């Protein structure tokens, strides 16, 4: 493998990741469609006496979790973007052999929040605090439920706030291709900040559990799809370069 190529997972690991994505999607869909786990967790966080989520405006969840941590994750996301851009200007002299990995992380830092945001604004699901069950006015609708004609789209699924940190899943690429097991473990641990941000939003009544789980799934799916797409592109590009005739 050339030093300028992005390292990838071996075939067996790629197959396992794809299977995990399929099973994960089915599992999250089952949780949201056939169980009341979302409602049960939200019920625990809601105070029916005051008709409010007590943590909605708490310092920990609003100031620290929703505002400070989101800004922090945004600044961190700029680091690989700036490094990749500077390396491009300097024609690879800044990052050297780490150029493909940093470029991949930068790509994920852009794509994961962007795609999550697009899906969120296209969704019909409402946030808990908008539901009549929790002091709002909207009906509770599951992911596959038909939306009544007079009900406006909720635009709340997947969890956008969590995606501001879920791009960190991409840092597992630095352990490829020689340590795929470590790469998977690092990627899994790197999802935890996003999960934590999602939980803080759940405490506020801003999201259900499955909203965060779908954000995690989307982040992993995007990172894997980008890695596979780049692998296929590299596979076509390398033979093409090698087949070029040598000009005397």
Q: What is the pLDDT along the chain (248 residues), one digit of tens a residue?
A: 445 688 889 889 999 999 999 999 999 999 999 999 999 999 999 999 999 999 999 999 999 999 999 999 999 999 999 999 999 999 989 999 999 999 999 999 999 999 999 999 999 999 999 999 999 999 999 999 988 888 999 999 999 999 999 999 999 999 999 999 999 999 999 999 999 999 999 999 999 999 999 999 999 999 999 999 998 988 776 554 444 444 43
Residue from 98, 74, 94 nearest 86 by CA: 94
pLDDT at residue 237 in the model: 63
pTM: 0.92
Give the CA angle between residues 215, 220, 224 to the nearest 5°: 145
Tell the residue number behind the tokens 């803080």, with chain if given: 200
Q: Which two tokens stand for residue 209?
A: 């559990």
Q: What is the C-alpha to C-alpha distance for residues 166 and 215, in angstroms, rounded to an integer?
A: 8
Separation between Cα atoms, residue 143 and residue 166, nearest integer Å: 22
* CA 136 distance to own-chain centroid: 28
Distance CA 44, CA 208 (A): 12
Round to whole Å and give the CA distance between 117 and 163: 8
Residue 92 gets which letter from DSSP?
A: T
| Phi and psi torsions of 226, nearest 5° | -65, -40
Distance separating alpha carbons of residues 62 and 44, to the nearest angstrom: 19
Element (H, E) at 45: helix 37-45
Report pLDDT for 236. Answer: 78
pLDDT at 234: 83
Q: How far apart are CA 125 and CA 226, in angstroms?
A: 27
């Amino acid at each position: 493998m050339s030093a300028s190529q992005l390292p990838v997972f071996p075939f067996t690991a790629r197959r396992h990741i794809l299977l995990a994505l399929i099973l994960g999607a089915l599992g999250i869909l089952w949780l949201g469609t056939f169980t009341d786990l979302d409602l049960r967790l939200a019920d625990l966080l809601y105070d029916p006496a005051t008709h409010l989520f007590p943590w909605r405006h708490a310092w920990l969840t609003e100031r620290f979790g929703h505002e400070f941590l989101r800004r922090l994750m945004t600044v961190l996301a700029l680091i690989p973007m700036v490094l990749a851009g500077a390396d491009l200007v300097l024609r690879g002299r800044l990052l050297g052999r780490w150029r493909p990995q940093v470029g991949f992380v930068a790509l994920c830092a852009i794509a994961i929040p962007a795609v999550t945001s697009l899906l969120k604004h296209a969704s019909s699901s409402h946030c808990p605090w908008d539901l009549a069950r929790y002091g709002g006015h909207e009906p509770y609708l599951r992911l596959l439920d038909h939306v009544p004609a007079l009900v406006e789209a909720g635009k709340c699924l997947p969890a956008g706030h969590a995606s501001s940190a879920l791009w960190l899943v991409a840092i597992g690429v630095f352990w490829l291709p020689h340590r795929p097991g470590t790469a998977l473990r690092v990627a899994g641990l790197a999802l935890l900040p996003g999960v934590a941000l999602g939980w803080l939003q759940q405490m506020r009544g801003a999201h259900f559990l499955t909203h965060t789980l779908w954000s995690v799934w989307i982040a992993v799916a995007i990172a894997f799809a980008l890695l596979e797409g780049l692998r296929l592109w590299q596979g076509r590009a390398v033979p093409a370069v090698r087949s070029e005739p040598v000009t005397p």
